[in-house]
C-alpha cells in the first residue's frame, strides 16, 4: 500500500511540474548525471556557468558594472574559477548598502527576501525563478541521497508562524497529502515535545528533519524516557550548525544516521551529506564555494577560513563571492560514494559565533565540549558582550550546579584578563527564525582581526 501511495504522490508532483512547465524533474536528471562527472568536466561546466553569470552581471547590474570597470576586470572566455580571487568579496554590509543596484536592469520577475542572520542586522535581496527552480531541484536531489521517496511519512521540527488551525484549506490539504506531522520550533516546551513524541510513535515517520538544536531537545527527551517504537530511514539536520554532541544524541534517540545540510536564506541548498557521512557535498551544478582569508585569498584545503559563495543560478541578482558569515574547512579527500561534487569537511559556525580574545579565534564548539558530561545543565549560552567580558547563561535542573571545572577550562582559554559572569535563568530565547546559538559575539565584526 505504501509503494502505491509513493507512486501516486510522485505522479501528482510530476504532473504538476509538467503543467507548470518548470522542468524541475528534467533538471534533477541533469544534476544526477553531473554529480559523477570527472572533475575536469565538472570544472569546465562550472566555468561556463560562471562566465555566463559574470557577463550578465557586468552588462546589466549597475553595481557589478561599476565594480568591474573600477577594478579593470575583463570577463573573457578564459576567465574561470581560478580567477575569482581577482574579484572583491561581497560582505553582508556591502549587500545591504547596494542591493538596489545589484539587481540587473533586465531582471524580469523577482521575489524579494531578507535575512536577519545571527547578528539580527537584516539584509535585503532578490531571488529569480531560475534560483527557485534550482533550489527545489536540489531538495529532491538530497532526498534521493537519503533514500527518501516521494510521499514518505515525515516528521518536522521547524519554525511555524501559524498554528495548523489558522492555515488555508489548500495548505491543510498539502500537509495531509504530503503526510507531515509537525512540532513548532518557535513554541517548544517539555509538554509539547512529549505530545509530539507520542504522535510520531503512532505516525511512524520514515523521514525526520528540523533545526539541529530543536531536534536535539526532542532527542534528549526521548533518551530520558523510553525508546521510540519506530526507526526512520533518515534524520536531517538543517538551518544551523550541527555539533558532534547533538549528532550523537539525535542518532541515539532515532536509531538512524543524521544527514547534515547546509545553506542560508540568501543562497540555500549549498551542501549536504550523502550516506558516506564524510563531509558535505557542494551542489556544484549551481554553487561555487571558496574558503578564504580576510583578504579574499583562498586558504589551502584542510585549513579554516571564511566561506565565500558564488551562486550560479540567480542570474537576476548576482551573489558573487558572498561572505555569508560562516567559517569552514574544505576536505582534502574525495568521497567514497563516487560523487565528484567536492566536500566541505566541516562547518565551524558563524563568524559572529566565534569568540575572539586578544586576536585569537576560539570557535564556539570549544565551549560546547565543556558541557558534554553535565546532564544537569539543560541549556547554556556564552555571550561575548565586550572584548574583555563574557557572560555565561545557564539553565539548570539543579539549584547550585558545580561549574568550577567549566569556568576553569574557559579561564584557561581566554586568560585572566577577561571577566566571566554567570547568570542562572529559566529560559534562553532562540533567534527570531527559531534557531539557537550556543555562543554569541556582540563585538563589531569589522573590528575582528584574523590571526
CATH 3.40.50.12780 residue ranges for the chain: 1-351
pLDDT score at 116: 53
Are 356 and 443 within 8 A, CB to CB? yes
Asked whether the predicted pLDDT for residue 433 surpasses 90, the reply is no
The CATH class of 1-351 is: alpha beta
CB 340 within 8 A of CB 428: no
Residue-wise pLDDT for 105-157, tens only, equals: 999 899 998 775 443 345 789 999 999 999 999 999 999 999 999 999 999 99
Which pLDDT belongs to residue 190?
A: 82
**Do the beta carbons of residue 278 and residue 339 sit within 8 Å?**
no
More confident residue, 163 or 119: 163
> What is the C-alpha to C-alpha distance for residues 242 and 249, in angstroms, rounded to an integer?
11
pLDDT the model gives residue 245: 86
- 68, 255, 354 from 325: Cα distances, Å: 24, 33, 11
Identify whether the C-beta of residue 305 lies closer than 8 Å to the C-beta of residue 92.
no
Q: What is the pLDDT of residue 451?
A: 27
Kindly tell me if the per-residue pLDDT of 352 is higher than 70.
no
Prediction pTM value: 0.80
What is the chain's mean pLDDT, rounded?
88
The string of DSSP letters for 332-357 reads SS--TT---S-EEEEEEEEGGGSEEE
Q: Where in the chain is the domain with CATH 3.30.300.30?
A: 354-447
Residue pLDDT, tens place only, 254-297: 999 999 999 988 999 999 999 999 999 999 999 999 999 988 99
Q: Kindly report the CA angle at 196 between 195 and 197, in degrees rounded to 5?
A: 90
Tell me the CB-side half-sphere exposure of residue 51, using CA atoms within 13 A. 13
Per-residue model confidence as pLDDT tens digits over 66-95: 999 998 999 999 999 999 999 999 998 899
Helix or strand holding residue 182 (H, E): strand 180-184
Q: What CATH number was assigned to the domain covering residues 354-447?
A: 3.30.300.30
The length of the chain is 451
Amino acid at each position: 500500500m505504501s509503494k502505491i501511495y509513493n507512486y501516486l504522490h510522485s505522479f501528482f508532483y510530476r504532473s504538476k511540474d509538467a503543467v507548470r512547465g518548470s522542468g524541475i524533474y528534467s533538471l534533477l536528471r541533469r544534476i544526477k548525471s553531473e554529480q559523477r562527472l570527472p572533475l575536469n568536466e565538472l570544472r569546465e561546466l562550472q566555468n561556463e556557468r560562471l562566465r555566463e553569470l559574470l557577463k550578465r552581471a557586468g552588462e546589466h547590474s549597475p553595481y557589478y558594472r561599476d565594480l568591474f570597470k573600477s577594478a579593470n576586470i575583463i570577463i573573457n572566455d578564459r576567465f574561470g574559477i581560478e580567477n575569482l580571487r581577482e574579484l572583491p568579496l561581497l560582505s553582508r554590509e556591502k549587500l545591504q548598502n547596494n542591493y538596489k543596484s545589484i539587481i540587473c536592469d533586465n531582471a524580469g520577475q523577482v521575489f524579494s527576501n531578507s535575512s536577519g542572520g545571527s547578528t539580527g542586522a537584516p539584509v535585503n535581496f532578490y531571488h529569480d525563478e531560475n534560483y527557485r527552480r534550482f533550489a527545489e531541484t536540489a531538495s529532491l536531489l538530497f532526498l534521493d541521497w537519503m533514500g527518501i521517496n516521494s510521499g514518505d511519512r515525515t516528521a518536522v521540527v521547524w519554525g511555524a508562524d501559524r498554528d495548523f488551525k489558522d492555515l488555508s484549506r489548500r495548505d491543510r490539504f498539502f500537509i495531509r497529502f504530503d503526510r507531515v506531522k509537525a512540532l513548532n520550533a518557535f513554541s517548544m516546551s517539555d509538554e509539547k515535545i512529549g505530545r509530539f513524541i507520542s504522535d510520531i510513535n503512532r505516525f511512524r515517520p520514515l523521514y525526520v528533519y528540523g533545526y539541529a538544536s530543536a531536534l536535539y531537545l526532542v532527542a534528549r527527551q526521548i533518551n530520558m524516557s523510553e525508546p521510540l517504537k519506530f526507526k526512520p530511514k533518515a534524520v536531517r539536520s538543517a538551518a544551523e550548525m550541527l555539533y558532534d554532541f547533538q549528532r550523537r544524541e539525535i542518532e541515539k534517540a532515532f536509531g538512524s544516521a543524521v544527514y547534515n545540510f547546509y545553506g542560508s536564506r540568501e543562497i540555500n541548498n549549498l551542501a549536504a551529506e550523502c550516506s558516506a557521512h564524510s563531509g558535505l557535498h557542494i551542489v556544484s551544478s549551481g554553487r561555487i564555494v571558496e574558503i578564504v582569508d580576510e583578504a579574499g585569498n583562498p586558504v589551502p584545503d584542510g585549513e579554516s577560513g571564511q566561506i565565500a559563495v558564488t551562486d550560479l543560478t540567480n542570474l537576476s541578482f548576482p551573489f558573487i563571492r558572498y561572505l555569508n558569515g560562516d567559517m569552514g574547512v574544505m576536505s582534502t579527500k574525495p568521497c567514497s560514494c563516487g560523487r565528484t561534487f567536492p566536500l566541505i569537511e566541516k562547518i565551524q559556525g558563524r563568524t559572529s559565533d566565534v569568540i575572539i580574545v586578544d586576536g585569537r579565534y576560539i570557535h564556539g564548539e570549544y565551549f560546547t565540549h565543556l558541557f558534554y558530561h553535565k546532564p544537569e545543565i539543560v541549556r547554556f549560552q556564552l555571550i561575548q558582550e565586550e572584548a574583555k567580558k563574557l557572560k555565561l547563561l545557564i539553565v539548570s535542573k539543579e539549584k547550585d550546579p558545580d561549574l568550577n571545572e567549566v569556568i576553569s577550562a574557559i579561564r584557561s582559554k581566554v586568560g585572566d584578563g577577561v571577566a566571566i559572569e554567570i547568570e542562572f535563568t529559566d529560559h534562553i530565547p532562540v533567534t527570531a527564525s527559531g534557531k539557537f546559538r550556543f555562543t554569541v559575539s556582540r563585538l563589531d565584526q569589522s573590528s575582528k582581526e584574523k590571526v
